Amino acid sequence: MKKTKLILMIIFILVGKSLFAQYAHFLESGSIEFEKRVNMYALIEKGITQNSSGIIVQAFEAYKKAQPQFLTLNSTLTFSKDKSLYIPAANGNNNLAVNFFGNRPASSQINTVANDLTLKTSTIQKQVYEETFLVSDSLRKIKWKITDEMRDIAGFQCRRANGLMMDSIYIVAFYTDMIPLSSGPESFSGLPGMILGVALPYENVTWFATKVTEKPVPANNVAAPTKGKPVNNLSFQAILSDLFKNQRSASDLLKEYML
C-alpha cells in the first residue's frame, strides 16, 4: 500500500510539472520599471574621516535632519528576444547631498546598457563628468551561486542568487525564469532568467523592479547607443586610473565608475 501511494504521489508531481510547463506564460518582450535606492547616510559617512573638516561634519548632521535617508532614482529596462536596453530616467531631484558632497556615480545614474545575449556582448554608454564613453566588451562576468530562497517582486516569484564581481563586490540578486532572458538592470546578468532585484549590501544600493509590462518591442527600441568615445573595459579602466590618480578617494571612484 505504501509503495502504491508513493508511486501515485510521484505521478501527480510529474503530471503537475508537465501541466505547469504547458500552460505557464513566459514573457518574451516588454519593459520593466526599476527603482534604485541609495542609502545616502551610509554613503556620505564612508567619506568622513578623522581628518575631515568641521564644516563637512556639520553639513552631514544638517543633512540628516533635513533629508530622507534614501535617495530614489528610476530607470527602465526594455527587452525583446535576445536583447535588452537599460535606460536611466533623468534624476529630476535637487538632493542636497548630491549638490554639496559631489555628484558621484553611486548617488546618480551614469550608464545606458545594451546587452546582446546571442553575441554575449554589452555596449555601455557612460557619462564621466563632461565626457561620454562607449564601452563595448563581453558581458560582465559574475560568479553566481543559486539558492532555494524565493521572493515575490512585481508579481513574479523570484529565486535568490548570491554573486561576486570585480573580485570583491558581493551581490544579492533575485531572478525569474518566467522572463527567459539572462539580463537585468545596469550590467547585472548571467542567471537563468531576468533579474528583477539586486542589492549590493556593502555598497549601500539596491535596484528592484516595481512594474513589468508585456508588450511588443520594435528592434530599434533595444538598439545599442552609438554616442561616445569608443573604448573597452581595460582601456576605460586605464583612463579612469589616470584621471583619479591624485584624488584621495581614487579607489572608490574607480569602482563606482566601473560598476
pLDDT (0 to 100) of residue 98:
56
| Tens of pLDDT, residues 30-48 | 999 999 999 999 998 887 8
Q: What DSSP state is assigned to residue 106?
A: G
pLDDT (0 to 100) of residue 100:
54
Which among 70, 72, 69 is positioned nearest to 89, based on CA atoms? Answer: 72
Residues of the chain with pLDDT under 70: 1-23, 91-103
Contact 73, 89 (CB under 8 A): yes
pLDDT (0 to 100) of residue 141:
96
C-alpha span between 168 and 190 (Å, rounded): 18
C-alpha span between 140 and 83 (Å, rounded): 15
Helix (H, G, I), strand (E, B) or coil at 99: helix
pLDDT (0 to 100) of residue 148:
98
pTM to 2 decimal places: 0.88
